[in-house]
Chains A and B, each alone.
Chain A
């Protein structure tokens, strides 16, 4: 009798777990590690779960720089997530490693409507080898030089859209004795440095591959870029610098800095700028206060020209990982479809105004998207925001040459060869040619694999 009671009790106690075990779980790794953004995504996932009983969405935040390592560890232990949210370069690199379900992504793009996506965005995730899309484009940002238009006007300098104009302005505003610096470009060996550098390289027609897929990185044009970049770095704040030094711009100590459209709110809103201003955090310290006129006095130059105009941006997509469990694949597809509905796209875009520009054209042009709750887009004008987003029709990076995508470029990106090359040239003062030779050798090793 005792045993029977015990058995019934145990069975009853395990019922809720049985229910849990039978649910299909979608493990979703996001690079949105900030708590407020993570909360927004959690809410969207909760609504999806309520609409789809039997599916659990497990949202896990992973730092973007750690993503390759975490995926490598997960692949090695056979615990890959169902979907990840990463840049197109990494999606291509993972596809090369054979751990991406490109077939499902391609089907999803067909279902959502191929013509709804910006053409350039689709190009960035197309694998020529597989003849499939390795990721579903979801959001993106464009980069450019943000500059103090009021300082430029006062000095009578031209906007920083050409190499000459950029160098002249950087030199003019570089006054270290007054703790003021000309420009901020990446010189620390991280992704930011590569992002800044790529735009200069593409503006000088210095690519990584030619249209036949041969490595042409170590070229005369590339040397010109690295020489120019290294020279420009002398007008940076001292030492190796990364994106975080954008704080100096908000503190009024920089004339120009490279940044993505993510910065829109930091410049315009006092509460967003607070983390960049020491006086806001430490009352007793002598630091800069929020400048309410900074948004008005700031302009963005998205295009840099030397031998040809170049604009640069990054595309983030949902990449489905290889999975034998068809139930999970189905549930993941349903979740990605749900995330591409207008309400979710707009909510996702508004959690980082300017940083998450939608990749579905019809949604990017709606008033729901353009009327962000904090009125940031309005400060810059709806037309200019539409123009910025439309840049995704013709966005470029090292992976795409004459409409062909070379996934090996994604692997080169993941190996951080260009950032390390920049660090050696700009900070360790190694001669540019020897650094280029080094980088070429590293790239050849990646390609040979």
Chain B
């Protein structure tokens, strides 16, 4: 390295130093402090007692923790597959311009931009077992069910209502991401494929899908990260669906807060998420 290059490198470090310091303070410090707290029993008045791995042992020996992991896996599978497929289907249907496409786009985006609390109340009202429209339609009007049921409250169906809600609310963002890539695929490729004898299905698998590969992978990755940590939608709609964030909340934040245990839970969650992302990026997306 010449003296000039060294000076440039030093100058470069000086330029990025403020950003590194700010990021360090905002991200690294809370992260490390969280790891530190996970080894303590923390009292509300600030006093801490070192308990070693006790918080981790308490967590990992709790059978409910594994049940929360199973619930989270089902939730992730349902929502990620659901939103991606629905987003892809909508994007394929609406890729070509037509009269009123702007309006249709706006309507599709509505669930995504509407405040979560208002749509949750709307859903709860629809599914209310006594006065709700769903029960009224299915029991009173169509007679498809013999008695009223509480789909949101019943633990057997609650998870699927929450999955459905998530697909409905978040498919628009998948649609938007996929559509933006879809409209940029060159017509020439389709014409070439048609000349090679591919029909609509063949063109989809040999042109559209390979082109969309990275967008779809991004959608899946983002949805996985978001939904692994998603709290508000699930808790507001059906607090009895114990995904990992809800489980953490009940364990650590119900009643008098248990900061040590909460920290241990989030450290494990962070670890799992990091491994997950690394595997996904290296092995599936091959970046």
Contacts and interface: CB of A to CB of B under 8 A. Distances in A.
Contact of B256 (A181, A245, A415, A420): A415
Contact of B45 (A69, A99, A181, A423): A99
Interface string A406-419: 00000101111000
A416 B254 contact: yes
Given A98-B45, A99-B45, A238-B153, A69 B257 contact: yes
A237 interface: yes
A253 interface: yes
A421 to B, nearest CB: 13
Given A72-B44, A97-B45, A415 B254 contact: yes
A420 B46 CA distance: 28
B226 interface: no
A245 B255 CA distance: 24
A159 B148 CA distance: 28
Contacts of A420: 250
Contacts of B155: 427-428
A177 interface: yes
Contacts of B152: 239
B239 interface: yes
Contact of B44 (A99, A287, A415): A99
B100 to A, nearest CB: 28
B240 A97 contact: no
Nearest to B136: A286
Contact of A97 (B130, B153, B254, B256): B256
Nearest to A414: B255
Nearest to B259: A76
Interface residues of B, number: 25
Contacts of A97: 43-45, 256
Contact of A415 (B131, B150, B240, B255): B255
Given A423-B240, A428-B155, A237 B255 contact: no
Interface in A276-291: 278, 287
Contacts of B45: 75, 97-99, 322
Interface string B229-258: 000000000011000000000100111110
Contacts of A238: 129, 147-150, 153-154
Nearest to A277: B131
Contacts of A94: 44
A72 B257 contact: yes
Nearest to B152: A239
- The B contact surface, by secondary structure, is loop
A414 B148 CA distance: 34
B41 interface: yes
A68 B255 contact: yes
Contacts of A415: 254-256
A321 to B, nearest CB: 11
A219 interface: no
Contacts of A449: 41
A379 B122 CA distance: 36
Contacts of B257: 68-69, 72-73, 76
A239 B149 contact: yes
Nearest to A429: B155
Nearest to B239: A189
A179 interface: yes
A239 B256 contact: no
B154 A239 contact: yes
Contacts of B41: 449
A179 B130 CA distance: 7
A287 B44 CA distance: 48
Contact of B153 (A177, A179, A427): A427
Contact of B147 (A71, A76, A177, A245): A177
Given A176-B147, A179-B148, A238-B154, 13 more contacts: A72-B253, A76-B46, A97-B43, A99-B44, A239-B150, A240-B150, A251-B131, A287-B131, A413-B255, A414-B256, A415-B255, A415-B256, A420-B250
Interface of B: 41, 43-46, 129-131, 147-150, 152-155, 239-240, 250, 253-257, 259
19 contacts: A69-B253, A93-B256, A99-B45, A177-B147, A188-B239, A189-B240, A238-B129, A238-B147, A238-B153, A238-B154, A239-B150, A239-B153, A240-B150, A247-B131, A248-B131, A411-B256, A414-B254, A415-B255, A416-B255
